[in-house]
Amino acid sequence: MTVPVPETDSVLVEGSALSGQRRVVHEFLHERDGTPLVVSTRQPAEGARRTHRRVVGHESAADETPEGSDDEPTPLVVDCVTGAIEESLSDESRVKYARHPSNLTSVGTKFTEFLEARGDSALAVGVDTVSPLLMYVDASGVFRFLHIVVQKATGAGCPVVVGLDGSAHDDRVVSQLAPLFEVVVETRRVKDARQVRVARPEPTEWREI
């Protein structure tokens, strides 16, 4: 991984959109055991899968990658985007459609359905970024949503990583959400370089992504 993250159940990755934050989220999912489960708040399902493949070095792989492939399982996706512009969507085996990014009950329900249907299969859970959710719901509402996601995921033995574009929100939002996570990772852009470090619990030096 780009930055050594302690073996932990819950990680918040905070940084601007162009700082490599999304890369770190997908690297975390790739390096943990199990099939990635991505709650995609900014891209439709296919875009989220394409981003994951690009980050982990499987850009040429198609979504026809066999389910359960040891090489790189096709991510499960809770699509929070498509439902806002299309009606009468039907869930698929590896994609579930939330009604709208403002409807955190719908997002949470679709996430829970995947979690409960996993059987004995391991999952690694990721919310690519909660920043779009904060456009519709206040920080307290997003805090409650993430608290449920983190508790359900870790309670089922699934690690969870969440991205946050800290530059889009004031420091109070970051301070309110960070205590939900055991580890906080920060990313930043310095000139043309993207850098990353562990900020909590034990700060590390910045290093290039």
CA–CA distance, 167 with 202 (Å, rounded to integer):
22
| Strand arrangement of the beta sheet that strand 193-200 belongs to | 95-97, 76-79, 35-40, 123-127, 160-164, 10-14, 183-190, 193-200, 207-208
| The predicted structure's pLDDT at residue 66 | 43
Q: Residue type at 105?
A: T
| Between 28 and 168, the higher pLDDT residue | 28
- Among 35, 69, 33, 68, residue whose Cα is nearest residue 52: 35
Tell me the C-alpha distance between 39 and 43, whole Å.
10
**Residue 24 · residue 65 · CB < 8 Å:** no
Measured between alpha carbons, how far is 204 from 113 in angstroms, rounded to an integer?
37
- pLDDT tens string 51-73: 999 998 865 444 444 444 445 67
Residue range 106-138, pLDDT digits in tens:
999 999 999 999 988 899 999 999 999 999 999
Beta strands per DSSP E along the chain: 10-14, 35-40, 76-79, 95-97, 123-127, 160-164, 183-190, 193-200, 207-208
- Domains in the chain (CATH in brackets) are 13-55+72-200 (3.40.50.300)
DSSP state of 68: T
Average pLDDT rounded to a whole number, residues 90-98: 95
Q: Do the bridges between strand 35-40 and strand 123-127 make them parallel or antiparallel, or are there none, so unpaired?
A: parallel
Please give the radius of gyration of the chain, using alpha carbons only, rounded to the nearest integer: 16
pLDDT value of position 168: 83
Cα(121)–Cα(184) distance, integer angstroms: 27
Decide the pairing of beta strands 193-200 and 207-208.
antiparallel
Amino acid at the residue 30: H
What pTM, to 2 d.p., does this model score? Answer: 0.89
Percent of the chain with pLDDT over 70: 90
State pLDDT tens for residues 2-49.
666 777 899 999 998 889 999 999 999 999 989 999 999 999 999 999
